[in-house]
Structure formats: C-alpha cells, structure tokens
Amino acid sequence: MGNYKDELSDLMIKYDFALQTLTTELNILIKEYEFNNKINPVEHIKTRIKSRESAIRKLKRKGYEVNRDNLILHVHDMVGVRIVCSFLSDVYDIVKIIKNSKLFKIKSEEDFIKNPKTSGYSSYHLNILVPIHLNGRVEYIEAEIQIRTMAMDFWASLDHKIQYKFDGEIPEEVAEEIYNCSLEVKELDNRMYNMNKIMSKYKEKKFV
C-alpha cells in the first residue's frame, strides 16, 4: 500500500500538469469562439482533480486491486472539467470546438443528452487525452469533460445530494420523482433553446 501511495504521488503531479494544460487550451478555444461569434456560450467552468481517497474508494467499489496500473486503467475521471452552458445548442458548439482542437486526442464520447441515463441524468461526456511534457518526452493523461446546460447542472447537483443522502439506495418513489424532474428540465431546455432561436432572429433583423 505504501508503494501505491508513492506511485500515486507521482501521478498526482502529472494530473496537475494535465489540468493546467487542459484549462489553458479550453480558455483559448472559448475566447476564440467568442471573438468569432461575438458571444460567450459558457456560463462557468469547474475543474478538479479527484482525491486519492476517492480514487481508492472507486477502485475498491469496482472490485480492483489498489495499484497504479488499475488507477490509470479504471479511473477515467481523475482529471475532471465541467463546462456549463447557457443553451442546449451551446453544448454542441463546445463539443465541436473541443473535438476540433489539435492538442487533444479524443478517447471516447457519450451523449447522455440524446440518450439520458435511466435516472434521467443528461450531459455530454468527452474523455480526452491531454499531452504533458515531462523529462523531455510527451505523455498523454486522460481527462473527463462534462458539458451541460445550467438546467442539467441544477438537476445533477440535486441528484448527487439525494444519492449521498440515501447512500445510493434511493427509494422507488424518490427515484421516480427525480426522473420526472429530469423530464421537466429537458422541456425547459427545449423551451430556452427555442427562445434563443427567436432572439437570434430579431438580432439578425436589427443588422439587416
């Protein structure tokens, strides 16, 4: 276990480098988008590196031995970024500019907006590989990016608190109510998306 802690300390440095690189590139991409489109689609960005205690719990929960290799292979969100957007269309715009970046390599992606989880969870997930320069060579570190609307973020935050309160064993009636709320969030996002389209139409007329 001691060796694992030493190895994880080295990994944590790499995760920190990766997060710094990722944050810098995202800020550049978003500012470039804002410059070209005269609008910033992002409300806010949250970043974090998963704690070693949380990583150990995740490995044990999945039934894996606690070691460096299993951490790299089975904990895909040690470096995490959440991008919260104003409108539904903004989410896909952000996904596009990240995928078009020449810095990152896309490892996998999941569209939980078009295909929500059974709980009602909605978000767009990108798992990417971020290059870091260490000891004269390039190494790629995995990071997870979640892109969602403000409404989705509000729902996910409440769902997380409820999951924690019931220690993952949510009563059926509570789970059903959470799911129903997710449908209302989806409806709200669609209405806000349509409103944004209407606003864009008036803005175009103004400059005609």
What ranges make up the beta strands (E) of 50-194?
A: 79-85, 105-111, 124-134, 137-149
Mean pLDDT of 90-118: 96
Sequence-distant (6+) residues with CB within 8 A of 13 are none
pLDDT single digits (tens) 37-76? 988 999 999 999 998 888 888 889 889 988 888 889 999 9
pLDDT of residue 111: 98
Q: Is residue 208 predicted with pLDDT exceeding 50?
A: no
Q: What is the DSSP string of 74-102?
A: H-TTSEEEEEEESSHHHHHHHHHHHHT-S
The structure tokens listed for 57 are: 């719990």
Structural domains in the chain, sorted by start: 2-151 (3.30.460.10)
Q: Is residue 1 predicted with pLDDT exceeding 50?
A: no
Strands 79-85, 42-49: pairing kind: antiparallel
